[in-house]
Amino acid sequence: MTGQAVTGLVVVPLRPGLLVAAEQPVPGSPSGRARWVTGRKGTSAMQPARDAEQLDDDVDPIAEGLSAIIKGLKPGDRLPPERELATRLGVSRTALRDRLQQAEALGVLRRRVGSGTYVERIDPNGLATGLQLAIDASQIDLSSLHSVRVALERQAALDAARHRPEIPLAEMAEAIALMRSAAADRDMARMAEADAYFHRALMDSSANTALAFFGHAMAKVRRDAMRTRTRQLSLVDRTPTFIVELHSAIFSAISSGDPERATEAVESHFAEFAQAVVEIGQHPYAE
């Protein structure tokens, strides 16, 4: 590692104006290692900090360094051993393990006993878990996420009408067929399953991997709302044909390559369902 030596430390520039002195072996010190310290160019002293917790803008240099290494790998690749990673990042193995645990909790990494740590192809489940914890800790009303869902699906419909990918469109058509079958039996549980299937396919039809990823994660975060939705479906008298018609309108607009009509169909889908729920005296976005 290169940089400006400061009493047993190596000063590493993270971004213009900000310096971080990484841990290095210090002969004679009780722990044998220096602490992380931070400061700005031109200041008379470097102030002590614990890892990166006190850095300006909450930048965590350990996490950023680890992220840079992960970006250079692909799913299934094994990370270098902890000792090597700690040396490359200039941190203690204890601090490194903390960041590895965070990445593992998000589904980015997977540690295998006796084998090592491997890069995973992250799926929406990992993000959904992190989102759920953050939402709970922030006491965010999940019903407020409805507008986020509408925005995601509106954009997905717009992109889908432009690209019209074959497989997701086939899945949407299959979902509508399942809805018709459920409607004939007035089976609201099956109707709800077909509804969820349709909206997953809608997100995939956008041909935008980021949009689909966040859309799927959002759906998992809103799983309680979906249970409420299933119950509300059973209370709306006109549900069977009503729900099929709303989804058929979205599918028709997308399959015909009409972006404007597709976005209008999505908005109508949410607005009309909300109105139907209000008519039975319930809140359309209750959790």
Question: Mean pLDDT for each consecutive 10-residue tract of the chain (287 residues)?
Answer: 41 38 40 38 38 53 90 91 92 92 83 88 70 74 79 96 95 96 87 90 92 84 65 64 92 97 95 78 55
What angle (nearest 5°) sits at the alpha carbon of residue 67, between those of residues 64 and 73? 155
What is residue 226's DSSP assignment? Answer: H
**How would you class 211 by CB atoms within 10 Å of its CB: exposed for 0-12, middle for 13-18, buried for 19 or more?**
middle
Contact yes or no for 285/145 (Cβ under 8 A): no
Full set of structural domains in the chain with CATH: 1-57 (no CATH), 60-122 (1.10.10.10), 128-279 (1.20.120.530)
Q: pLDDT value at position 192?
A: 84
Rounded distance between C-alpha atoms, residue 49 and residue 92, angstroms: 14
Contact yes or no for 22/1 (Cβ under 8 A): yes
Q: pLDDT value at position 258?
A: 97
Rounded distance between C-alpha atoms, residue 210 and residue 206, angstroms: 10
Rounded distance between C-alpha atoms, residue 8 and residue 66, angstroms: 23
Question: What is residue 186's three-state secondary structure?
Answer: coil
Q: Is this prediction's pTM over 0.95?
A: no
